[in-house]
Amino acid sequence: MQQDLDVFRMVPLETDPPIHTKIRSVLTPFFVPSALDPLDDAIRKITVDLIDECVRNSPVDFATQFSIILPSRVFFEIILGEDPKEIQWIVDLTQVLITDPATAEQGAPKLLQWCADTLEGRRKRGQTEDLIGVVAHMGNGPELFLEERERIEILNLLILAGMETTANGISSVVHTFATNPDARAELRDADPQRIDKVVDEFLRYASPVTSAGRTLVSNDESFGCPMQKGERVTLSWTAANHDPATFPNPDVLDLNRNASQHLAFGVGHHKCLGMHLAKREMRIAIQELRKLKIFELVENTRIRYRSGPQQGIISLPIHCAR
């Protein structure tokens, strides 16, 4: 759904340098690998707890009870440091927004209001050291000036971008493991470096974010197609990730492929800020899911997909056991 940028903008994704660069420079320290390394144990605990709950309730919809919940809990509980009991309704809300985008007009204002209230709460407490506190106090100097609406949009984008794309990537792993036991067996003893390469291949193959829109700043021509300054163009990450000139047999998921050149996170200065966190969650999910003795689709199951700018599985009934 394309929003009127005068009403709502995905900041900083829909901004250009130098504003984009200044905002991103403030946020980046929270998402570099060195900042995320100490979080592995906490991420793994949430991952294991969710798998244990799925095993207890098997058969279970692994998309809604694992793939979607995992990145939501990781982001709110670990990255934002929020009380799980206080934000459960937001986790539930984001799950609805992912599985039923038609509800966005009703649900999105509730999330935006939470962002506004939470930012104000950080300012009242003078809290500046965590991610929300940094956003709350951002843009008050001569180098960067932000309106409060823009701070709300920044926090809103951090939340949504940190959940849906990761959930779609994890669902690709879950579907592959449930339908191809040889893949799970192949990765049972794989070291972290091998798993990282496999994560890249899952991201290339699934391309959780299908495309991005951009506005041309100058006249150009590509493959004989003339394009004029000010026109909108669509960048298809899916097409790029399935380009046979770069990835031979692109429609085959090859767990031995070096897919490090994939564009699942975009490219250039708008490349996904949270890509290291997303890949970390996928790596840990693979490491824990491969331990299960039983992991297979429910017979005659109906898998539901979401299509559009974000694509992924939103219903995936699974039998699982340790």
Report the percent of the chain where pLDDT is more than 90: 66
pTM, rounded to two decimals = 0.91
Beta strands in the chain (DSSP E): 60-61, 211-215, 220-222, 225-227, 232-236, 294-297, 304-306, 312-315, 317-321
| Structure confidence by residue, pLDDT tens digits, 19-74 | 899 999 999 999 999 999 999 999 999 999 999 999 999 999 999 899 989 998 99
| Structure confidence by residue, pLDDT tens digits, 100-118 | 766 667 777 888 999 999 9
Residue pair 48/25 in contact (Cβ under 8 Å)? The answer is no
